Structure 1
Amino acid sequence: MSDPIQTITDVIDPMRARAMQASLGQDVTLIKGDALPPFYHQLYFWDPQGPENLGRDGHPKVGGVIPDMGLPRRMWAGGGMEFHHPLVAGVSAKRLTFIENSTQKEGRSGPLGFVTLRHDIWQEDTLCLTDTQDLVYREDPAPDAPKPTPPQAATDEDVCETRSFDTTLLFRYSALTFNGHRIHYDIEYAKHVEGYAGLVVHGPLLAQHLILLAERQLGGLTNFQFRATAPLMHFETAEFCWKADGTAWVRGPDGRQCMTAKAS
Protein backbone atom coordinates (compact mmCIF):
# COMPACT_ATOMS: atom_id res chain seq x y z
CA MET A 1 0.00 0.00 0.00
CA SER A 2 1.29 3.46 -0.89
CA ASP A 3 1.96 6.06 1.76
CA PRO A 4 -0.62 8.86 2.25
CA ILE A 5 0.17 12.16 0.57
CA GLN A 6 -1.42 14.04 3.46
CA THR A 7 -2.47 13.35 7.05
CA ILE A 8 -4.66 15.77 9.01
CA THR A 9 -5.87 15.35 12.59
CA ASP A 10 -8.95 17.22 13.79
CA VAL A 11 -11.42 17.20 16.67
CA ILE A 12 -14.99 16.52 15.54
CA ASP A 13 -16.31 19.74 17.09
CA PRO A 14 -20.03 19.41 17.91
CA MET A 15 -20.59 23.15 17.42
CA ARG A 16 -19.54 22.96 13.76
CA ALA A 17 -21.97 20.09 13.21
CA ARG A 18 -24.71 22.05 15.00
CA ALA A 19 -24.05 25.01 12.69
CA MET A 20 -24.48 22.65 9.74
CA GLN A 21 -27.79 21.39 11.10
CA ALA A 22 -29.00 24.98 11.42
CA SER A 23 -27.81 25.87 7.91
CA LEU A 24 -29.70 22.91 6.43
CA GLY A 25 -32.87 23.85 8.31
CA GLN A 26 -32.70 20.84 10.62
CA ASP A 27 -33.34 20.72 14.35
CA VAL A 28 -30.11 21.64 16.18
CA THR A 29 -29.64 18.60 18.41
CA LEU A 30 -26.08 17.33 18.10
CA ILE A 31 -23.97 17.16 21.27
CA LYS A 32 -20.68 15.58 22.29
CA GLY A 33 -20.88 11.79 22.10
CA ASP A 34 -23.51 11.71 19.34
CA ALA A 35 -22.91 9.95 16.04
CA LEU A 36 -22.14 12.41 13.26
CA PRO A 37 -24.74 12.49 10.44
CA PRO A 38 -23.44 10.98 7.18
CA PHE A 39 -21.25 13.27 5.05
CA TYR A 40 -20.80 15.77 7.87
CA HIS A 41 -17.10 14.84 7.87
CA GLN A 42 -16.89 17.43 5.05
CA LEU A 43 -16.90 20.07 7.80
CA TYR A 44 -13.58 18.89 9.23
CA PHE A 45 -9.94 18.28 8.27
CA TRP A 46 -9.35 21.76 6.91
CA ASP A 47 -6.05 22.51 5.16
CA PRO A 48 -5.74 26.32 5.46
CA GLN A 49 -3.33 27.99 3.02
CA GLY A 50 -2.08 31.58 2.91
CA PRO A 51 -3.11 33.88 0.05
CA GLU A 52 0.16 33.25 -1.77
CA ASN A 53 -0.71 29.54 -2.03
CA LEU A 54 -4.16 30.03 -3.57
CA GLY A 55 -5.06 29.79 -7.24
CA ARG A 56 -7.18 32.30 -9.12
CA ASP A 57 -10.33 30.36 -8.17
CA GLY A 58 -9.71 30.63 -4.42
CA HIS A 59 -8.72 26.98 -4.01
CA PRO A 60 -5.18 25.97 -2.94
CA LYS A 61 -2.90 25.92 -5.97
CA VAL A 62 -2.37 22.62 -7.72
CA GLY A 63 1.09 21.12 -7.55
CA GLY A 64 0.80 20.23 -3.86
CA VAL A 65 -1.74 17.59 -2.90
CA ILE A 66 -3.24 17.80 -6.41
CA PRO A 67 -0.83 17.38 -9.36
CA ASP A 68 -0.57 20.33 -11.77
CA MET A 69 -1.97 19.39 -15.18
CA GLY A 70 -1.95 22.94 -16.56
CA LEU A 71 -5.77 23.16 -16.56
CA PRO A 72 -7.38 26.04 -14.62
CA ARG A 73 -11.00 24.99 -13.99
CA ARG A 74 -11.72 22.58 -11.14
CA MET A 75 -14.95 20.61 -10.67
CA TRP A 76 -15.96 17.96 -8.17
CA ALA A 77 -17.43 15.34 -10.53
CA GLY A 78 -18.60 12.88 -7.91
CA GLY A 79 -17.43 10.30 -5.46
CA GLY A 80 -18.47 7.65 -3.02
CA MET A 81 -18.44 6.68 0.62
CA GLU A 82 -18.27 3.44 2.54
CA PHE A 83 -19.58 3.90 6.07
CA HIS A 84 -17.76 1.43 8.32
CA HIS A 85 -18.40 2.91 11.77
CA PRO A 86 -20.06 6.15 12.95
CA LEU A 87 -17.83 9.13 13.64
CA VAL A 88 -18.47 10.49 17.14
CA ALA A 89 -18.80 14.20 17.89
CA GLY A 90 -16.30 15.61 20.37
CA VAL A 91 -13.58 13.03 19.67
CA SER A 92 -10.32 13.48 17.74
CA ALA A 93 -10.13 11.88 14.28
CA LYS A 94 -7.47 11.48 11.60
CA ARG A 95 -7.82 11.68 7.80
CA LEU A 96 -5.25 9.99 5.55
CA THR A 97 -5.35 11.04 1.88
CA PHE A 98 -4.14 8.93 -1.04
CA ILE A 99 -4.06 9.57 -4.81
CA GLU A 100 -5.90 6.66 -6.41
CA ASN A 101 -5.64 7.90 -9.99
CA SER A 102 -4.30 10.83 -12.01
CA THR A 103 -4.76 10.89 -15.81
CA GLN A 104 -5.22 13.27 -18.75
CA LYS A 105 -7.50 12.70 -21.73
CA GLU A 106 -8.75 14.59 -24.76
CA GLY A 107 -12.47 15.32 -24.55
CA ARG A 108 -14.92 16.85 -27.00
CA SER A 109 -14.36 20.26 -25.42
CA GLY A 110 -10.56 19.93 -25.12
CA PRO A 111 -8.06 18.41 -22.70
CA LEU A 112 -9.33 17.05 -19.40
CA GLY A 113 -7.51 16.06 -16.24
CA PHE A 114 -8.93 13.47 -13.86
CA VAL A 115 -7.82 13.01 -10.25
CA THR A 116 -9.28 10.52 -7.78
CA LEU A 117 -8.50 10.99 -4.09
CA ARG A 118 -9.23 8.49 -1.34
CA HIS A 119 -9.63 9.66 2.24
CA ASP A 120 -9.50 7.11 5.04
CA ILE A 121 -10.92 8.57 8.26
CA TRP A 122 -9.96 6.96 11.56
CA GLN A 123 -11.16 7.55 15.09
CA GLU A 124 -9.64 5.78 18.11
CA ASP A 125 -7.88 3.16 15.91
CA THR A 126 -11.10 2.35 14.04
CA LEU A 127 -11.55 2.98 10.33
CA CYS A 128 -14.87 4.83 10.27
CA LEU A 129 -15.18 5.99 6.69
CA THR A 130 -13.64 5.59 3.24
CA ASP A 131 -14.38 8.66 1.11
CA THR A 132 -13.47 8.82 -2.59
CA GLN A 133 -13.51 12.11 -4.52
CA ASP A 134 -13.41 12.38 -8.32
CA LEU A 135 -12.09 15.75 -9.51
CA VAL A 136 -12.02 17.05 -13.09
CA TYR A 137 -9.80 19.84 -14.44
CA ARG A 138 -10.42 21.55 -17.78
CA GLU A 139 -9.65 24.66 -19.82
CA ASP A 140 -11.64 27.89 -19.68
CA PRO A 141 -14.65 27.89 -22.02
CA ALA A 142 -14.37 29.79 -25.29
CA PRO A 143 -16.76 32.78 -25.33
CA ASP A 144 -18.60 31.43 -28.39
CA ALA A 145 -18.56 27.77 -27.35
CA PRO A 146 -22.01 26.14 -27.23
CA LYS A 147 -23.22 25.05 -23.81
CA PRO A 148 -23.27 21.26 -23.34
CA THR A 149 -26.72 19.70 -23.34
CA PRO A 150 -27.39 18.09 -19.95
CA PRO A 151 -29.26 14.79 -19.66
CA GLN A 152 -32.93 14.80 -18.72
CA ALA A 153 -33.79 13.47 -15.27
CA ALA A 154 -36.13 10.57 -14.63
CA THR A 155 -39.67 11.32 -13.45
CA ASP A 156 -40.62 7.97 -11.88
CA GLU A 157 -39.53 8.68 -8.29
CA ASP A 158 -41.34 7.37 -5.22
CA VAL A 159 -40.37 10.36 -3.04
CA CYS A 160 -39.73 13.95 -4.12
CA GLU A 161 -38.55 16.87 -1.98
CA THR A 162 -38.23 20.44 -3.27
CA ARG A 163 -35.37 22.67 -2.11
CA SER A 164 -34.03 26.12 -2.90
CA PHE A 165 -30.52 27.51 -2.41
CA ASP A 166 -29.99 31.19 -1.70
CA THR A 167 -26.69 33.05 -1.46
CA THR A 168 -26.73 32.92 2.35
CA LEU A 169 -26.81 29.12 2.35
CA LEU A 170 -24.01 28.95 -0.23
CA PHE A 171 -21.92 31.33 1.89
CA ARG A 172 -22.52 29.36 5.09
CA TYR A 173 -21.74 26.02 3.43
CA SER A 174 -18.53 27.44 1.94
CA ALA A 175 -17.52 28.71 5.38
CA LEU A 176 -18.34 25.47 7.20
CA THR A 177 -16.38 23.37 4.70
CA PHE A 178 -13.61 25.98 4.26
CA ASN A 179 -14.27 25.93 0.52
CA GLY A 180 -12.87 29.08 -1.09
CA HIS A 181 -13.96 28.29 -4.66
CA ARG A 182 -15.18 31.61 -6.07
CA ILE A 183 -17.92 30.06 -8.24
CA HIS A 184 -19.97 29.75 -5.04
CA TYR A 185 -19.84 33.40 -3.89
CA ASP A 186 -18.25 35.66 -6.55
CA ILE A 187 -20.93 36.04 -9.21
CA GLU A 188 -18.79 38.13 -11.56
CA TYR A 189 -16.07 35.47 -11.52
CA ALA A 190 -18.60 32.64 -11.92
CA LYS A 191 -20.25 34.30 -14.93
CA HIS A 192 -17.41 36.04 -16.74
CA VAL A 193 -14.46 33.71 -16.07
CA GLU A 194 -15.98 30.26 -15.74
CA GLY A 195 -19.05 30.85 -17.92
CA TYR A 196 -21.88 29.95 -15.52
CA ALA A 197 -25.29 31.64 -15.46
CA GLY A 198 -24.95 32.48 -11.76
CA LEU A 199 -23.46 31.19 -8.54
CA VAL A 200 -23.02 27.42 -8.56
CA VAL A 201 -24.60 25.34 -5.82
CA HIS A 202 -21.88 23.11 -4.34
CA GLY A 203 -21.99 19.57 -5.68
CA PRO A 204 -21.35 18.19 -2.17
CA LEU A 205 -24.26 20.25 -0.85
CA LEU A 206 -26.57 18.58 -3.37
CA ALA A 207 -25.06 15.23 -2.40
CA GLN A 208 -25.60 16.02 1.29
CA HIS A 209 -29.33 16.44 0.75
CA LEU A 210 -29.51 13.22 -1.27
CA ILE A 211 -27.60 11.38 1.47
CA LEU A 212 -29.96 12.60 4.18
CA LEU A 213 -32.95 11.68 2.00
CA ALA A 214 -31.50 8.18 1.48
CA GLU A 215 -30.81 7.79 5.19
CA ARG A 216 -34.41 8.66 6.04
CA GLN A 217 -35.66 6.05 3.57
CA LEU A 218 -33.25 3.27 4.51
CA GLY A 219 -32.79 3.94 8.22
CA GLY A 220 -29.00 3.94 7.84
CA LEU A 221 -26.31 3.82 5.16
CA THR A 222 -23.40 1.53 4.36
CA ASN A 223 -22.57 2.88 0.90
CA PHE A 224 -23.35 5.98 -1.14
CA GLN A 225 -22.09 6.79 -4.66
CA PHE A 226 -22.89 9.98 -6.56
CA ARG A 227 -22.11 11.65 -9.88
CA ALA A 228 -22.64 15.30 -10.88
CA THR A 229 -24.06 15.68 -14.38
CA ALA A 230 -25.04 19.39 -14.63
CA PRO A 231 -24.61 22.45 -12.41
CA LEU A 232 -27.47 23.98 -10.44
CA MET A 233 -27.56 27.77 -10.05
CA HIS A 234 -28.33 29.65 -6.83
CA PHE A 235 -31.56 31.13 -8.24
CA GLU A 236 -33.01 27.72 -9.18
CA THR A 237 -35.27 25.38 -7.22
CA ALA A 238 -34.44 21.68 -7.45
CA GLU A 239 -36.27 18.42 -6.77
CA PHE A 240 -34.52 15.69 -4.77
CA CYS A 241 -35.86 12.34 -5.88
CA TRP A 242 -35.74 8.85 -4.36
CA LYS A 243 -36.76 5.48 -5.76
CA ALA A 244 -37.27 2.32 -3.72
CA ASP A 245 -34.44 0.51 -5.54
CA GLY A 246 -31.91 2.83 -3.87
CA THR A 247 -31.40 5.24 -6.74
CA ALA A 248 -31.67 8.98 -6.19
CA TRP A 249 -31.22 12.09 -8.29
CA VAL A 250 -31.49 15.88 -8.40
CA ARG A 251 -33.80 17.36 -11.03
CA GLY A 252 -33.45 20.99 -12.08
CA PRO A 253 -36.43 23.28 -12.78
CA ASP A 254 -36.20 22.58 -16.53
CA GLY A 255 -36.14 18.82 -15.98
CA ARG A 256 -32.39 18.44 -16.42
CA GLN A 257 -30.49 15.90 -14.36
CA CYS A 258 -28.00 17.62 -12.05
CA MET A 259 -26.85 14.61 -10.02
CA THR A 260 -27.43 10.87 -9.75
CA ALA A 261 -26.75 8.61 -6.79
CA LYS A 262 -27.03 5.06 -5.51
CA ALA A 263 -27.45 4.24 -1.82
CA SER A 264 -27.53 1.11 0.27
Structure 2
Amino acid sequence: MQSANDDPLRQSDVMDPARARAMQVALGRVPDIAAGAPMPPFFHQLYFWSPEPPDRLGRDGHPKVGGIIPDMGLPRRMWAGGRLQFHAPLLLGVRAEKVTSCESATRKEGRTGPLAFVTLRHEIWQDDALCVTEWQDLVYRHDPDPNAPRPVPPVAATDEDVAQPHSFDATLLFRYSALTFNGHRIHYDQPYARDVEGYDGLVVHGPLLAQHLMLLAEAGLGPLEHFRFRATSPLMHHEVGTFCRKGRKLWVRGPDGRQCMEAEA
Protein backbone atom coordinates (compact mmCIF):
# COMPACT_ATOMS: atom_id res chain seq x y z
CA MET A 1 0.00 0.00 0.00
CA GLN A 2 1.37 3.40 -0.98
CA SER A 3 0.86 6.52 1.09
CA ALA A 4 -1.37 9.22 -0.38
CA ASN A 5 -2.15 12.78 0.55
CA ASP A 6 -4.42 12.49 3.59
CA ASP A 7 -5.96 15.92 3.07
CA PRO A 8 -9.16 15.71 1.01
CA LEU A 9 -9.56 17.89 -2.06
CA ARG A 10 -12.48 20.29 -1.76
CA GLN A 11 -14.04 21.98 -4.77
CA SER A 12 -17.20 24.01 -5.26
CA ASP A 13 -19.11 24.75 -8.45
CA VAL A 14 -22.48 26.05 -9.56
CA MET A 15 -24.31 23.39 -11.55
CA ASP A 16 -24.61 25.57 -14.68
CA PRO A 17 -27.65 24.45 -16.72
CA ALA A 18 -25.99 25.63 -19.95
CA ARG A 19 -23.26 23.01 -19.54
CA ALA A 20 -25.83 20.27 -18.96
CA ARG A 21 -27.73 21.36 -22.07
CA ALA A 22 -24.50 21.24 -24.07
CA MET A 23 -24.04 17.67 -22.87
CA GLN A 24 -27.58 16.82 -23.98
CA VAL A 25 -26.80 18.18 -27.44
CA ALA A 26 -23.54 16.23 -27.64
CA LEU A 27 -25.47 13.04 -26.80
CA GLY A 28 -28.07 13.77 -29.49
CA ARG A 29 -30.80 14.68 -27.01
CA VAL A 30 -33.17 17.63 -26.78
CA PRO A 31 -31.52 20.42 -24.70
CA ASP A 32 -34.43 20.97 -22.34
CA ILE A 33 -32.81 21.14 -18.88
CA ALA A 34 -33.43 24.34 -16.91
CA ALA A 35 -32.30 25.75 -13.57
CA GLY A 36 -33.95 24.01 -10.64
CA ALA A 37 -34.37 20.71 -12.51
CA PRO A 38 -32.74 17.52 -11.23
CA MET A 39 -29.55 16.62 -13.03
CA PRO A 40 -29.45 13.38 -15.06
CA PRO A 41 -27.31 10.68 -13.45
CA PHE A 42 -23.54 11.11 -13.91
CA PHE A 43 -23.84 14.62 -15.35
CA HIS A 44 -21.83 15.79 -12.34
CA GLN A 45 -18.79 14.76 -14.43
CA LEU A 46 -19.26 18.06 -16.26
CA TYR A 47 -18.43 20.11 -13.17
CA PHE A 48 -15.67 20.63 -10.58
CA TRP A 49 -12.90 21.21 -13.13
CA SER A 50 -9.30 21.11 -11.82
CA PRO A 51 -7.24 23.06 -14.37
CA GLU A 52 -3.47 22.82 -14.01
CA PRO A 53 -0.74 24.87 -15.73
CA PRO A 54 1.24 23.15 -18.52
CA ASP A 55 4.20 22.33 -16.25
CA ARG A 56 1.86 20.37 -13.95
CA LEU A 57 0.65 18.05 -16.70
CA GLY A 58 2.03 14.61 -17.48
CA ARG A 59 2.92 13.41 -20.96
CA ASP A 60 -0.63 12.07 -21.41
CA GLY A 61 -2.28 15.45 -20.77
CA HIS A 62 -3.58 14.51 -17.32
CA PRO A 63 -2.42 16.38 -14.20
CA LYS A 64 0.74 14.81 -12.82
CA VAL A 65 0.38 12.36 -9.97
CA GLY A 66 1.94 13.06 -6.62
CA GLY A 67 -0.86 15.04 -4.96
CA ILE A 68 -3.96 13.21 -3.83
CA ILE A 69 -2.87 10.30 -6.08
CA PRO A 70 0.59 8.97 -5.12
CA ASP A 71 3.26 8.55 -7.80
CA MET A 72 3.92 4.83 -8.23
CA GLY A 73 6.13 5.17 -11.31
CA LEU A 74 3.68 3.87 -13.92
CA PRO A 75 2.80 6.20 -16.84
CA ARG A 76 -0.41 4.80 -18.38
CA ARG A 77 -3.67 5.74 -16.69
CA MET A 78 -7.06 4.10 -17.27
CA TRP A 79 -10.44 4.64 -15.65
CA ALA A 80 -11.24 1.01 -14.88
CA GLY A 81 -14.69 1.39 -13.35
CA GLY A 82 -16.63 2.76 -10.46
CA ARG A 83 -19.59 2.62 -8.12
CA LEU A 84 -22.17 5.28 -7.37
CA GLN A 85 -24.84 5.84 -4.74
CA PHE A 86 -27.47 8.45 -5.56
CA HIS A 87 -28.83 9.75 -2.24
CA ALA A 88 -30.73 12.83 -3.45
CA PRO A 89 -31.09 14.71 -6.75
CA LEU A 90 -28.48 17.30 -7.65
CA LEU A 91 -30.32 20.45 -8.76
CA LEU A 92 -29.11 22.56 -11.65
CA GLY A 93 -28.33 26.21 -10.97
CA VAL A 94 -27.41 25.53 -7.33
CA ARG A 95 -23.89 25.60 -5.87
CA ALA A 96 -22.49 22.22 -4.79
CA GLU A 97 -19.32 21.02 -3.06
CA LYS A 98 -17.25 17.98 -4.02
CA VAL A 99 -14.94 16.34 -1.47
CA THR A 100 -12.37 13.89 -2.87
CA SER A 101 -10.09 11.56 -0.94
CA CYS A 102 -7.79 8.70 -1.91
CA GLU A 103 -9.35 5.63 -0.35
CA SER A 104 -6.63 3.17 -1.43
CA ALA A 105 -3.50 2.97 -3.60
CA THR A 106 -1.84 -0.40 -4.13
CA ARG A 107 0.88 -1.68 -6.47
CA LYS A 108 0.84 -5.33 -7.57
CA GLU A 109 2.50 -7.61 -10.11
CA GLY A 110 0.20 -8.71 -12.91
CA ARG A 111 0.64 -11.11 -15.83
CA THR A 112 1.81 -8.27 -18.05
CA GLY A 113 3.95 -6.48 -15.44
CA PRO A 114 3.41 -4.13 -12.50
CA LEU A 115 0.00 -2.54 -11.97
CA ALA A 116 -1.16 0.17 -9.60
CA PHE A 117 -4.76 0.33 -8.40
CA VAL A 118 -6.13 3.59 -7.03
CA THR A 119 -9.62 4.19 -5.66
CA LEU A 120 -10.84 7.75 -5.18
CA ARG A 121 -13.93 8.51 -3.14
CA HIS A 122 -15.99 11.53 -4.14
CA GLU A 123 -18.83 13.01 -2.12
CA ILE A 124 -21.02 15.71 -3.66
CA TRP A 125 -23.01 17.91 -1.31
CA GLN A 126 -25.70 20.48 -2.01
CA ASP A 127 -27.49 22.58 0.64
CA ASP A 128 -25.74 20.57 3.40
CA ALA A 129 -27.16 17.29 2.06
CA LEU A 130 -25.08 14.45 0.63
CA CYS A 131 -26.41 13.85 -2.89
CA VAL A 132 -23.90 11.49 -4.56
CA THR A 133 -21.15 9.18 -3.33
CA GLU A 134 -18.86 7.89 -6.06
CA TRP A 135 -15.92 5.49 -5.97
CA GLN A 136 -13.63 5.93 -8.98
CA ASP A 137 -11.28 3.02 -9.78
CA LEU A 138 -8.09 3.89 -11.69
CA VAL A 139 -5.38 1.57 -13.02
CA TYR A 140 -1.81 2.58 -13.87
CA ARG A 141 0.58 0.43 -15.89
CA HIS A 142 3.74 0.47 -18.03
CA ASP A 143 3.77 1.24 -21.73
CA PRO A 144 2.72 -1.74 -23.87
CA ASP A 145 5.28 -4.18 -25.22
CA PRO A 146 4.67 -4.27 -29.01
CA ASN A 147 5.86 -7.90 -29.10
CA ALA A 148 3.58 -9.13 -26.33
CA PRO A 149 0.32 -10.87 -27.26
CA ARG A 150 -2.76 -8.75 -26.75
CA PRO A 151 -5.13 -9.76 -23.97
CA VAL A 152 -8.27 -11.57 -25.11
CA PRO A 153 -11.38 -9.59 -24.10
CA PRO A 154 -14.48 -11.34 -22.77
CA VAL A 155 -17.31 -12.17 -25.16
CA ALA A 156 -20.44 -10.10 -24.63
CA ALA A 157 -23.84 -11.64 -24.02
CA THR A 158 -26.45 -11.51 -26.78
CA ASP A 159 -29.63 -12.14 -24.78
CA GLU A 160 -30.49 -8.51 -24.06
CA ASP A 161 -34.07 -7.21 -23.88
CA VAL A 162 -33.07 -3.71 -25.00
CA ALA A 163 -30.28 -2.74 -27.41
CA GLN A 164 -29.22 0.73 -28.56
CA PRO A 165 -26.39 1.32 -31.06
CA HIS A 166 -24.20 4.39 -30.56
CA SER A 167 -21.37 5.65 -32.73
CA PHE A 168 -18.47 7.79 -31.52
CA ASP A 169 -16.52 10.01 -33.89
CA ALA A 170 -13.57 12.27 -33.11
CA THR A 171 -15.86 15.31 -32.79
CA LEU A 172 -17.96 13.69 -30.06
CA LEU A 173 -14.84 12.62 -28.17
CA PHE A 174 -13.49 16.16 -28.40
CA ARG A 175 -16.76 17.65 -27.15
CA TYR A 176 -16.95 15.22 -24.22
CA SER A 177 -13.31 15.91 -23.34
CA ALA A 178 -14.04 19.65 -23.41
CA LEU A 179 -17.22 19.40 -21.33
CA THR A 180 -15.47 17.30 -18.67
CA PHE A 181 -12.13 19.17 -18.94
CA ASN A 182 -10.40 15.85 -19.61
CA GLY A 183 -7.02 16.39 -21.26
CA HIS A 184 -6.15 12.69 -21.69
CA ARG A 185 -4.55 12.52 -25.15
CA ILE A 186 -5.83 9.01 -25.94
CA HIS A 187 -9.22 10.63 -26.66
CA TYR A 188 -8.10 13.27 -29.24
CA ASP A 189 -4.46 12.70 -30.26
CA GLN A 190 -4.47 9.68 -32.57
CA PRO A 191 -0.67 9.45 -33.14
CA TYR A 192 -0.14 9.47 -29.37
CA ALA A 193 -2.90 6.90 -28.76
CA ARG A 194 -1.47 4.61 -31.46
CA ASP A 195 2.30 5.06 -31.16
CA VAL A 196 2.74 5.59 -27.41
CA GLU A 197 -0.15 3.74 -25.76
CA GLY A 198 -0.69 1.07 -28.42
CA TYR A 199 -4.37 1.59 -29.29
CA ASP A 200 -5.95 1.07 -32.71
CA GLY A 201 -7.51 4.53 -32.71
CA LEU A 202 -8.91 7.15 -30.39
CA VAL A 203 -10.31 5.60 -27.23
CA VAL A 204 -13.93 6.28 -26.30
CA HIS A 205 -14.01 7.60 -22.73
CA GLY A 206 -14.97 4.94 -20.20
CA PRO A 207 -17.27 7.39 -18.37
CA LEU A 208 -18.96 8.26 -21.68
CA LEU A 209 -19.84 4.58 -22.12
CA ALA A 210 -21.03 4.49 -18.52
CA GLN A 211 -23.07 7.64 -19.11
CA HIS A 212 -25.01 5.98 -21.94
CA LEU A 213 -25.58 2.89 -19.78
CA MET A 214 -26.91 4.98 -16.88
CA LEU A 215 -29.34 6.81 -19.14
CA LEU A 216 -30.44 3.46 -20.60
CA ALA A 217 -30.94 2.07 -17.09
CA GLU A 218 -32.86 5.12 -15.92
CA ALA A 219 -35.16 4.98 -18.96
CA GLY A 220 -36.11 1.39 -18.17
CA LEU A 221 -35.90 1.23 -14.39
CA GLY A 222 -36.67 4.74 -13.17
CA PRO A 223 -34.46 6.94 -10.95
CA LEU A 224 -31.24 5.19 -9.99
CA GLU A 225 -30.19 4.50 -6.40
CA HIS A 226 -27.03 2.50 -7.13
CA PHE A 227 -24.89 1.89 -10.20
CA ARG A 228 -21.59 0.12 -10.74
CA PHE A 229 -19.58 -0.37 -13.92
CA ARG A 230 -16.35 -2.04 -15.00
CA ALA A 231 -14.43 -1.51 -18.24
CA THR A 232 -13.29 -4.77 -19.85
CA SER A 233 -12.04 -3.71 -23.32
CA PRO A 234 -11.59 -0.29 -24.96
CA LEU A 235 -13.98 0.85 -27.68
CA MET A 236 -12.41 2.83 -30.54
CA HIS A 237 -13.82 5.97 -32.12
CA HIS A 238 -14.36 4.22 -35.47
CA GLU A 239 -16.49 1.47 -33.91
CA VAL A 240 -20.21 1.30 -33.21
CA GLY A 241 -21.04 0.03 -29.73
CA THR A 242 -24.30 -1.70 -28.82
CA PHE A 243 -25.61 -0.72 -25.40
CA CYS A 244 -27.61 -3.55 -23.86
CA ARG A 245 -29.89 -4.09 -20.89
CA LYS A 246 -31.48 -7.20 -19.45
CA GLY A 247 -33.22 -6.42 -16.20
CA ARG A 248 -30.68 -4.66 -13.98
CA LYS A 249 -27.68 -6.01 -15.93
CA LEU A 250 -26.15 -3.78 -18.61
CA TRP A 251 -23.22 -4.06 -20.98
CA VAL A 252 -21.56 -2.60 -24.08
CA ARG A 253 -20.88 -4.95 -26.99
CA GLY A 254 -18.29 -4.09 -29.61
CA PRO A 255 -18.85 -4.74 -33.33
CA ASP A 256 -16.79 -7.95 -33.11
CA GLY A 257 -18.88 -9.28 -30.20
CA ARG A 258 -16.42 -8.42 -27.42
CA GLN A 259 -17.59 -6.98 -24.13
CA CYS A 260 -16.31 -3.45 -23.61
CA MET A 261 -18.07 -2.68 -20.32
CA GLU A 262 -20.39 -4.44 -17.89
CA ALA A 263 -22.61 -2.76 -15.33
CA GLU A 264 -25.44 -3.23 -12.89
CA ALA A 265 -28.14 -0.78 -11.79
Residue ranges of structure 2 left out of the alignment (5+ in a row): none
Deviation track 1:73-114 (CA, whole Å, cap 9, x = no partner) reads 000000011000000000000000011111000000000000
For residue 3 of structure 1, report the CA deviation from its aligned partner.
6.2
1:5 is displaced (CA, Å) by 2.0
CA contact (8 A) 1:122 1:128 kept: yes
Aligned-residue offset at 1:66: 1.1
- Corresponding position of 1:255: 257
Aligned partner of 1:88 in structure 2 is 91
Paired with 1:29 and 1:4, the residues of 2 have a C-alpha distance of 38
Whole-angstrom CA distance in 2 between matches of 1:256 and 1:194: 20
| 2:230 alignment partner in structure 1 | 227
DSSP 3-state at the match of 2:228: strand
1:58 alignment counterpart: 61
Question: Are 2:233 and 2:261, in contact at CA under 8 Å, matched by a contact in 1?
Answer: yes
Equivalent in 49, 52, 55 of residue 52 of structure 2 = 49
Q: Is the 8 A contact 1:81 1:129 kept in 2?
A: yes
Question: What is the alpha-carbon distance in structure 1 between the residues aligned to residue 159 and residue 35 of structure 2?
Answer: 40
Spell out the pairing of 1:1-264 with structure 2 (5 A cutoff).
4-244=7-247, 246-263=248-265
The structural deviation recorded for 1:145 is 1.4
Supply the distance in 2 between the matched residues of 1:28 and 1:90 (Cα, whole angstroms).
15
TM-score between the two structures when normalised by the length of structure 1: 0.98
- Aligned length, in residue pairs: 261
Identity of aligned residues (%): 67
- Report the alpha carbon displacement of residue 116 of structure 1 after superposing the two structures with TM: 0.1
Q: Give the root-mean-square deviation of aligned CA atoms.
A: 0.9
After superposition, the C-alpha distances for 1:37-88 in whole angstroms (9 at most, x for unaligned) are 0000000011100000000000000101211000000000000110000000
User: What's the CA shift string for 1:116-174, capped at 9, x where partnerless?
Assistant: 00000000100000011000000001121111110000111110001100111000000
